[in-house]
Amino acid sequence: MEKVFEIYIKTTPERLWEAITDPKTRRKYTFGAPPPAESSVVESDPPKRRVETMVALWSEEVKAEGQSRITWEIEPVGTSCCLTVTHDELREGANAQLYGGWPMILSGLKTLLETGELLDTPGSLMYAKYAEEA
């Protein structure tokens, strides 16, 4: 099973790449929600494509799902970028906690890059204290 998410962000490919790869910045738009996931980079082609494997650790249920893969693809579009995130290698019927947070995470990334601010939705505010520690 795969889930694909696409978003347009007014930024450069280099700046977007940095936000995806810098742990301190990434913690801000993923809201620093503990515990994180174990991940490994399996492919890196800056600033175009990054492929990671992930084992989620935030609950026993998602941990039991095992490893999945996340592919980040950046395509320049004028003064913006199209970011496509594909979360795959998920089993059919996988726990929605594995992929259900992507819209909020990508919205947080877009907000951070375009305004310099953190997203302030109810879901993101739930983890705001962790993002501030980043």
Enclosing H/E stretch for 69: strand 67-77
Tell me the pLDDT tens digit for each residue of 77-107: 999 999 999 999 999 999 998 899 899 999 9
CATH number at residue 35: 3.30.530.20
Tens of pLDDT along the chain (134 residues)?
999 999 999 999 999 999 999 988 888 888 665 546 788 999 999 999 999 999 998 889 999 999 999 999 999 999 999 999 999 999 999 999 889 989 999 999 999 999 999 888 776 676 565 555 54
Domain hosting residue 123, numbered range: 3-133
What is this structure's pTM? 0.89
CA atoms in the 13 A half-sphere facing the CB of 127 = 20
Contact indicator for 95, 61 with CB cutoff of 8 Å: yes
The total number of structural domains that make up the chain: 1
